[in-house]
């Protein structure tokens, strides 16, 4: 008797609940927090729905909308060409589909971020995690859990800014360089509004996660939810950005497959 195929086994696991699908996506609405830049720079668009028809004289049997938003609104995917260091690299439509499904390592710094919203992950933190859990996955994602998704219901609380700028956790410049240039992962995922820490505007280089990751043909996933439901290792992430030609990124539905015993 032939053995079941790998895909049949996957479907069986999903149906039985042995494999759980965890949604890592923040719903898109006009209340979704967006990054706020200094006034002299261009600003991203808050998500807006424009009703076309709703079972009325504009369309008696159908409901649909136009929507307007920025590429980097809500849970979204950063392509290499998002940053000047990757300007000659791939747009979001050119990201190989095979790289949109990848294993994940989840590093939990929620306790440290609760004590210090400016907490920065250093290379030694990652090395300590690897000593306990094994190496970061080849071709996978490094997902940074900070508990920041609990703030996603409110713009001000999520950005956590004062007269000195935002205060949110992230990677140190040296750690960002290491992740981009020396680690085997394809990208960094965060619960915050961007891949960089809130104070990264004053780092050297400024916004090092963007600068190093994009310049090394790696990716970003931001405003993730529910990382607390993932194990440290073993989850598989499915990231689904829109393939926007010449786009620098896209809102994305991001799912994780988790094997439950």
CA 162 to chain centre: 24
Please tell me the distance from the alpha carbon of residue 159 to that of residue 151, in angstroms, as a whole number: 9
Kindly state the tokens that stand for 20. Answer: 């759980």
* Sign of the alpha-carbon dihedral angle for 37, 77, 136, 256: positive
Contact 222, 76 (CB under 8 A): yes
Q: Quote the radius of gyration of the chain (alpha carbons, Å).
A: 19
Please tell me the distance from the alpha carbon of residue 201 to that of residue 205, in angstroms, as a whole number: 8
Interacting residues of 149 by C-beta distance below 8 A, sequence separation 6+: 26, 191, 223, 224, 225, 226, 227
Burial of 210 (0-12, 13-18, 19+ CB in 10 A): buried
Please tell me the distance from the alpha carbon of residue 185 to that of residue 105, in angstroms, as a whole number: 9
Contact 53, 63 (CB under 8 A): yes
82 is annotated as an active-site residue? yes
Query: From the candidates 72, 82, 133, 167, which is the catalytic residue?
Result: 82
Strands 59-68 and 48-56: antiparallel
The per-residue DSSP string of 50-110 comes to EEEEEEETTEEEEEEEEEE--TTSSSEEE-GGGSGGGTTS--GGGS-GGGGEEEEEEEE-H
Positions marked catalytic: 82
């Amino acid at each position: 008797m032939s053995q079941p195929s790998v895909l049949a086994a996957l479907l069986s696991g999903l149906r039985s609940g042995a494999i759980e699908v965890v949604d890592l996506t923040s719903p898109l609405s006009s209340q979704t927090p967006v990054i706020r830049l200094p006034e002299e720079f261009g600003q991203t668009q808050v998500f807006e729905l424009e009703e076309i028809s709703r079972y009325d004289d504009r369309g008696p049997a159908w409901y649909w909308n136009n929507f307007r938003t920025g590429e980097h609104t809500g849970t979204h995917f950063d392509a290499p060409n998002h940053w000047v260091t990757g300007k000659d690299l791939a747009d979001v439509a050119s990201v190989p589909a095979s790289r949109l499904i990848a294993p994940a390592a989840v590093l939990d710094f929620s306790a440290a971020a609760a004590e210090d919203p400016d907490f920065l992950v250093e290379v030694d933190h990652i090395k300590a995690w690897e000593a306990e859990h094994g190496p970061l996955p080849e071709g996978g994602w490094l997902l940074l859990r900070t508990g920041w998704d609990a703030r996603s219901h409110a713009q001000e609380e999520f950005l956590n800014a004062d007269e000195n700028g935002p205060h949110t956790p992230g990677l140190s410049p040296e750690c960002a360089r290491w992740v981009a240039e020396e680690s085997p992962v394809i990208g960094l995922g965060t619960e915050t509004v961007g891949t960089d820490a809130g104070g990264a505007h004053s780092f050297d280089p400024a916004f090092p996660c963007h600068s190093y990751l994009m310049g090394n043909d790696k990716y970003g996933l931001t405003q993730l939810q529910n990382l607390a439901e993932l194990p440290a290792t073993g989850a598989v992430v499915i990231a689904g950005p829109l393939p926007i030609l010449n786009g620098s990124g896209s809102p994305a539905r991001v799912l994780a497959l988790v094997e439950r015993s």
